[in-house]
Amino acid sequence: MFYQNHIQLKTSEMLDAVSAKQWYQTVKSFGPENITYSYQMGENFIAMEYGTCEDCEFQHAYVVPLVRNLTETEAAFIVQAWEYLYDGDFDVELSSNYDAGMLGNDGVELSVDEETRAGCSGDEQMESQSLG
């Protein structure tokens, strides 16, 4: 794993390629500006990972790396947008398991310099892995 923060969509059925890309676009479009994070693996840029969990209620996971944790309000906005687009059952998990409102701030922010951001905006692909 090349990142600390993420938002993860979990579904019982595997999404087709169009729907998987739609999840990524939902996070990118309805989340805060420049919230998504891509990393380079070999010659490819990874913007979303896919994994499975055989013993889980929602066996398919689509993980979008983020530059920082989302606040509860930011995450709720993304979830509401996805509910409008997706008809099936799903669950969304965040890398942060705290109540941001109780902390009195919007969480911890990861600074990424402009040169690194520019290098991460090339052709983005999805990596497949087992979440075991």
Alpha helices in the chain (DSSP H): 17-30, 72-85, 100-103, 114-119
For the chain, domain boundaries: 5-128
pLDDT at residue 95 is higher than 50: yes
Q: How far apart are CA 117 and CA 50, in angstroms?
A: 22
pLDDT in tens, 15-68: 999 999 999 999 999 999 999 999 988 999 999 999 998 888 999 999 999 999
Phi, psi of 6 (to 5 degrees): -160, 165
Please give the structure tokens belonging to residue 11.
């579904």
Strand ranges, E, within 70-123: 90-94
User: pTM for the whole thing?
Assistant: 0.71
Q: How far apart are CA 116 and CA 72, in angstroms?
A: 27
Average pLDDT over residues 65-87: 94
